[in-house]
């Protein structure tokens, strides 16, 4: 299939370049050094790509078989609203991810891994560019009274703490966060992009193929370093241990689950032909895939510790350890990495604010549960605002001051903050001072926008 390249109008293109100077200052170095680090890959270009020859018939939902919509104005207003929510949420995640990764990019132990993450950040910039292309090339007035210009300004003004999805409002504490985020949170992105590839909104579907190709590299930028960490840990490395990886998984896996939206929702997206799966179904497929990643990491640990074993014997040793929760040939259950249960440390969805331990055990006392979390989460994360906010909400829920549903909604509300963006002088194309505020929607049972990465 052929791809068409599209560049944004000059003022918007320049605004994104200016944004990158603040949050991705190494972008120029990457572009100049691309051939050195990625000689076999096509040259990176900041533009939007649209895949030609995509299926033109709606592939799921009530309108299956009918022509896909090539313009927002041809959709039902509610349907267009769901698409618009998805585009805005997607754009927010792309720019938000860059801001998070920049915090700890320089802490990589290996130059190669640092450059991998830098490439991932540049491609996230292009993904955000792609979403802004979708915002600007269509007329969304039937779905929102906010102008496209204002939407773009809102997106470029967001910072960690004001993004639409919770996972993108959490600071990174070490480079272990960088790679774990790629392995877990970018994996959610892969699922969401794959589902949106069948979108009944044709421009969205045409935007997904290139994004999915790039997303594959993002996953590798997380999984490959994690494999190396596990093998080094098996050899006695004092740098990154399995306990560090376990705590990072405990921090990010619950947030990844929540990005699919409430487990009871997603039906509207399927009915409108925007996605082929409801939230719970997509989430379950994600859990299954992450479980395979965890098993691969543990198998690499076993084989590095016991290199004399055949692949089949290493599998048997791992299975025995996991079954007995004991020790086999010097490797203990606690030496490995384990996937937390899906109800652990959740603040949204069906298990929101349940006091469930990582292994499925339950707690009746808030202090006891917080002690458990203190043992299972990274120390630097517990010292930050995100965990403090969770503790406050959990305490209110279990004291009766708040319901779980109310606590789930008690997240930062984005307001229109024109001029706050560090690059505001080049970003502000909106006349006047704007003013007022708009509360963006939180996740709902139909997953708008939280079920659409």
In whole angstroms, what is the distance from residue 167 CA to residue 176 CA?
16
**Can you tell me the mean pLDDT for 319-341?**
97
Q: Which pLDDT tens digit goes with each residue over 25-75? A: 999 999 999 999 999 999 999 999 999 999 999 999 999 999 999 999 999
At residue 12, does pLDDT exceed 50? yes
**Can you tell me the mean pLDDT for 405-433?**
51
**Confidence class of residue 430 from pLDDT cuts 50, 70 and 90?**
very low
Rounded mean pLDDT of the chain?
90
Per the document, the length of the chain is: 453
Q: Which pLDDT tens digit goes with each residue over 160-175? A: 888 888 889 999 999 9
At residue 428, does pLDDT exceed 50? no
Name the residue ranges covered by the structural domains of the chain: 3-335
Q: Which pLDDT tens digit goes with each residue over 67-87? A: 999 999 999 999 999 999 999
CATH architecture of 3-335: Orthogonal Bundle (1.10)
At residue 307, does pLDDT exceed 80? yes
With a pLDDT cut of 70, the percent of the chain lying above it is 90
**Confidence class of residue 443 from pLDDT cuts 50, 70 and 90?**
very low
Q: What is the 3-state secondary structure (H, E, C) of the chain?
A: CCEEEECCCHHHHHHHHHHHHHHCCCHHHHHHHHHHHCCCCCCCCCCEEEECCCCCECCCCCCCCCECECCHHHCCHHHHHHHHHHHHHHHHHHHHHHHHHHHHHHHCCCHHHHHHHHHHHHHHHHHHHHHHHHHHCCCCCCCCCCCHHHHHHHHHHCCCCCCCCHHHHCCCCCHHHHHHHHHHHHHHHHHHHHHHCCCCEHHHHHHHHHHHHHHHHHHHHHHHHHHHHHHHHHCCCCCCCHHHHHHHHHHHHHHHHHCCCCCCCCHHHHHCCCCCCCHHHHHHHHHHHHHHHHHHHHHHHHHHHCCCCCHHHHHHHHHHHHHHCCEECCEEHHHCCCCCCCCCCCCCCCCCCCCECCCCCECCCHHHHHHHHHHHCCHHHHCCHHHHHHHHHHHHHHHCCCCHHHHHHCCCCCCCCCCCCCCHHHHCCCCCCCCCCCCCCCCCCCCCCCCCC
**Can you tell me the mean pLDDT for 388-402?**
96
At residue 210, does pLDDT exceed 80? yes
Q: Which pLDDT tens digit goes with each residue over 248-298? A: 999 999 999 999 999 999 999 999 999 999 999 999 999 999 999 999 999
What pLDDT does residue 411 have? 63
**Confidence class of residue 361 from pLDDT cuts 50, 70 and 90?**
very high
């Amino acid at each position: 299939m052929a791809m068409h390249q599209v560049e944004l109008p000059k003022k918007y293109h320049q605004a994104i370049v200016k944004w990158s100077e603040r949050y991705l200052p190494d972008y120029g170095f990457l572009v100049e050094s691309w051939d050195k680090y990625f000689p076999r890959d096509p040259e990176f270009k900041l533009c939007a790509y649209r895949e030609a020859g995509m299926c033109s018939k709606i592939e799921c939902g009530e309108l299956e078989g009918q022509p896909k919509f090539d313009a927002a104005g041809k959709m039902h207003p509610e349907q267009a609203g769901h698409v618009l929510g998805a585009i805005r949420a997607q754009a927010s995640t792309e720019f938000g991810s860059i801001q998070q990764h920049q915090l700890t990019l320089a802490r990589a132990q290996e130059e190669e891994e640092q450059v991998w993450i830098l490439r991932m950040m540049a491609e996230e910039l292009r993904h955000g560019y792609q979403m802004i292309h979708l915002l600007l090339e269509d007329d969304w007035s039937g779905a929102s009274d906010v102008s496209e210009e204002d939407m773009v300004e809102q997106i470029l003004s967001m910072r960690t703490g004001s993004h639409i999805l919770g996972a993108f409002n959490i600071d990174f504490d070490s480079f272990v966060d960088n790679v774990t985020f790629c392995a877990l949170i970018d994996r959610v992105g892969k699922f969401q992009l794959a589902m949106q590839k069948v979108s009944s909104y044709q421009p969205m579907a045409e935007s997904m193929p290139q994004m999915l190709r790039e997303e594959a590299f993002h996953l590798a930028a997380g999984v490959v370093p994690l494999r190396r960490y596990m093998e080094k840990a098996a050899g006695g490395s004092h740098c990154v241990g399995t306990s560090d990886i376990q705590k990072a998984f405990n921090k990010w896996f619950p947030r990844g689950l929540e990005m699919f939206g409430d487990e009871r929702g997603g039906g509207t997206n399927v009915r409108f032909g925007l996605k082929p799966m409801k939230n719970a179904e997509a989430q379950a497929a994600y859990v299954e895939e992450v479980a395979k990643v965890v098993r691969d990491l543990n198998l690499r640990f076993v084989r590095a510790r016991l290199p004399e074993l055949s692949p089949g014997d290493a599998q048997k040793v791992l299975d025995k350890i996991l079954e007995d929760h004991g020790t086999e040939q010097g490797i203990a259950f606690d030496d490995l990495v384990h996937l937390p249960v899906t109800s652990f440390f959740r603040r949204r969805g069906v298990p929101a604010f349940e006091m469930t331990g990582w292994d499925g055990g339950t707690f009746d006392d808030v202090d006891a549960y917080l002690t458990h979390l203190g043992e299972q989460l990274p120390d630097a994360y517990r010292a930050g605002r995100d965990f403090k906010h969770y503790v406050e909400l959990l305490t209110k829920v279990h004291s009766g001051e708040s319901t779980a549903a109310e606590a789930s909604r008690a997240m930062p509300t984005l307001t229109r903050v024109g001029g706050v963006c560090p690059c505001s002088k080049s970003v502000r194309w909106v006349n006047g001072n704007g003013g007022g505020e708009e509360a963006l929607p939180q996740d709902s049972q139909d997953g708008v926008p939280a079920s659409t990465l």
